[in-house]
Amino acid sequence: MSTRDGSVGRRMQWAAGTAAVLALGTGTAAAHAVWESTAALPTQGVSSGSLALSTQWVGGATALPPLYPEQSSDTATLRVTETAASGTTLRWRLRVEVSVTGAGSEYVRTEVFVGACGGPAPLAAGSAYEPAGGLLPGQSVDLCVRTTLSAEAPSAQQGTSLTPSVSVVAEQVGI
Amino acid sequence: MKTPRPTFVAALALIVVGSLSGPSSASAAWQVRVSASSITASIGTLAAPSLRCETLASNPPAARITWDPVPGATSYRVELSNTVNGPRRELATQTTTGIDVGGALLTTLVSFLLNSLLAGGTVFVTVTATSESWTATSTPQRIGLAGTLLDGLSGGIRCR
């Protein structure tokens, strides 16, 4: 049979237990706050990375065959290589910008292919080549530029010179 | 109802702006641009075919007209005329670079060429290289009856 004294006793036990738990918890927290250890790491240089590109026409052929209406001329392979980020975790994507100047250039359209001309779909204008995970430091990408003269090119444009320009842009990705 | 203090609103705005602009400034990725060494290109010139003529030792003989491929040309139109600069009639349009002109081939144009043939004179062959709207026409090549006037077209055609 329960008595008032017994009830008081159980309350005291509960209170003592709760206090113990609180004390342990606080003590642990205090220990977390107090324990500390410091160790000196070996000195190691840290430097920022870099990003640089080199380009090379493979085979050296830099003159396109003459263009005729609704016909295309392909460049040699343009090899683009990242040259400065070796050993870093940098990832990059490649953007290619092609322009053509000269009389009649308004009748010339260009397409950029990764790999050989006429392979998979050309890069869409303004888009970048970025394989999954990005391009790696030191990685090379081969490009081909196809120029096509419009069927509407007037006969008067025959024999005119054109100046194509190809710029490649490496952009850091993954930040 | 309480209205927010101006200082609180300003601070909140700074936090919001900061949180919005922070990532964009952090994402200012490195980039480098390089121009490839220059390349040259040009719009081609459609050249006129340069014709050669050879009389075939067939029976009856025929005039074989040939020419070298013209860069950029997608087809060649072969035409006949009675005079050098006279009106021309199409004999064939083709992608190959040669044609044998025999009597049988000319029968379709006999009425057009009749006067020249009856006069025992010369018929002129021209070839026009074509690429879309561009054209380039050869200088005329002369051909004529290989036999007598009585033989007519059945006597064959030869180079002149």
* Complex ipTM: 0.73
Q: pLDDT tens, A104-130?
A: 999 999 999 999 898 888 888 878 999
Cβ-contact A143, A112 below 8 angstroms: yes
Could you say which DSSP state residue B90 is in?
A: E
Q: pLDDT tens, A131-171?
A: 998 999 999 999 999 999 999 999 999 999 999 999 999 99
Cβ-contact A109, A148 below 8 angstroms: yes
Q: How far is CA B68 from CA A113, A159, B51, B64, in A?
A: 33, 20, 8, 13
Counting residues of chain B whose pLDDT is more than 70, the rounded percentage is 79
Counting residues of chain A whose pLDDT is more than 90, the rounded percentage is 48
User: Of B160 and A33, which is predicted with more confidence?
Assistant: B160
Q: Which residue of B has its CA nearest to A104?
A: B43
What CATH number labels A53-154+161-173?
2.60.40
**A171 part of contact set with chain B, CB < 8 Å:** yes
B contacts of A168 (beta carbons < 8 Å): 33-34, 36
Could you say which DSSP state residue B155 is in?
A: G
Q: How far is CA B14 from CA A40, B6, B26, in A?
A: 39, 12, 17
Cβ-contact A111, A44 below 8 angstroms: no
Average pLDDT for residues B100-121, to the nearest whole number? 76
Q: Is the pLDDT of residue A24 over 90?
A: no
User: Of B108 and A151, which is predicted with more confidence?
Assistant: A151
Average pLDDT for residues B11-38, to the nearest whole number? 61
Q: What is the mean pLDDT of chain B?
A: 81
Over chain A, what HEC string results? CCCHHHHHHHHHHHHHHHHHHHHHHHHHHHHHHHCCCCCCCCCCCCCCCCCCEEEEEECCCCECCCECECCEEECCEEEEEECCCCCCCCEEEEEEEEEEECCCHHHEEEEEEECCCCCCCCCCCCCEECCCCCECCCCEEEEEEEEEECCCCCHHHCCCEEEEEEEEEEEEECC
> ∠A154-A157-A160 over CA atoms, to 5°?
160
Hey, what long-range contacts does A9-15 have (CB within 8 A, 24 or more apart)? none
Cβ–Cβ gap B133/A171 under 8 Å: no
Counting residues of chain A whose pLDDT is more than 70, the rounded percentage is 75
CA–centroid distance for A92 within its chain: 3
In this prediction, residue B24 carries a pLDDT of 41
How far away is chain B from the Cα of A46, in angstroms, using its nearest Cα? 18
User: Of A61 and A91, which is predicted with more confidence?
Assistant: A91
- What the block records as the tokens of A165 is 């320009």
Distance between CA B155 and CA B117 in Å, rounded? 12
Set out the domains of chain B in order of their start, with CATH numbers.
51-159 (2.60.40.10)
Sequence-separated (6 or more) residues with CB below 8 Å from residue B48: B70, B129, B136, B137, B138, B139
In this prediction, residue A17 carries a pLDDT of 62
User: Of B119 and A26, which is predicted with more confidence?
Assistant: B119
- What the block records as the tokens of A144 is 């081909």
Residue B45: strand, helix, or coil = coil
Could you say which DSSP state residue B132 is in?
A: T
In this prediction, residue A46 carries a pLDDT of 55
Distance between CA B135 and CA B74 in Å, rounded? 10
How far away is chain A from the Cα of B71, in angstroms, using its nearest Cα? 9
In this prediction, residue A106 carries a pLDDT of 95
Pairs of residues, one from chain A and one from chain B, whose beta carbons lie less than 8 Å apart: 128
Neighbours of B158 (CB within 10 A): 19
Give A 45-104 residues with CB within 8 A of chain B.
51-55, 57, 62-71, 73, 75, 78, 80, 90, 100, 104
Distance between CA B106 and CA B153 in Å, rounded? 8
In this prediction, residue B14 carries a pLDDT of 45
User: Of A2 and A175, which is predicted with more confidence?
Assistant: A175
In this prediction, residue B30 carries a pLDDT of 84
In this prediction, residue B93 carries a pLDDT of 96
> ∠A105-A109-A114 over CA atoms, to 5°?
135
Q: pLDDT tens, B26-59?
A: 455 788 999 998 889 999 999 999 999 999 988 8
Cβ-contact B87, B81 below 8 angstroms: yes
